[in-house]
Amino acid sequence: MFAQDTIEVMYNDSTLKAKGIIENGLKQGKWITYYPDGIRNAVEHYHDGILDGECRYYDFEGKLTDIEQWVGGLLEGASLSFYRDGKVKKEGKYKKGTYTGEWMFYYPDGKIERKGVYEQGFPEGEWIFYSKEGTVAYRGEFLKGKEEGLWHFFDKEGVLEYEGHYEQGEPVGEWYRYNRKGKKKLFKKY
Nearest partner of 74 among 45, 52, 90, judged by Cα: 52
- What's the pLDDT tens digit per position in 11-51? 999 999 999 999 999 999 999 999 999 999 999 999 999 99
- What's the pLDDT tens digit per position in 119-166? 999 999 999 999 999 999 999 999 999 999 999 999 999 999 999 999
**Amino acid code (one letter) for 124:** E
pTM: 0.90
**Amino acid code (one letter) for 92:** G
Q: 3 falls in which pLDDT band (50, 70, 90)? A: low
CB 138 within 8 A of CB 154: yes
Amino acid 127: pLDDT: 98
> Mean pLDDT over all residues of the chain?
96
Identify any residues that bridge with 56 across adjacent strands, giving them in sequence order: 43, 67
Collapsing DSSP states into helix, strand and coil, what is residue 158?
coil
CB 104 within 8 A of CB 126: no
Distance CA(8)–CA(22), nearest Å, equals 10
**DSSP 8-state class, residue 48:** T
Amino acid 1: pLDDT: 41
Of 3.90.930, 2.20.110, 2.160.20, 2.60.40, the CATH number of 1-106 is: 2.20.110
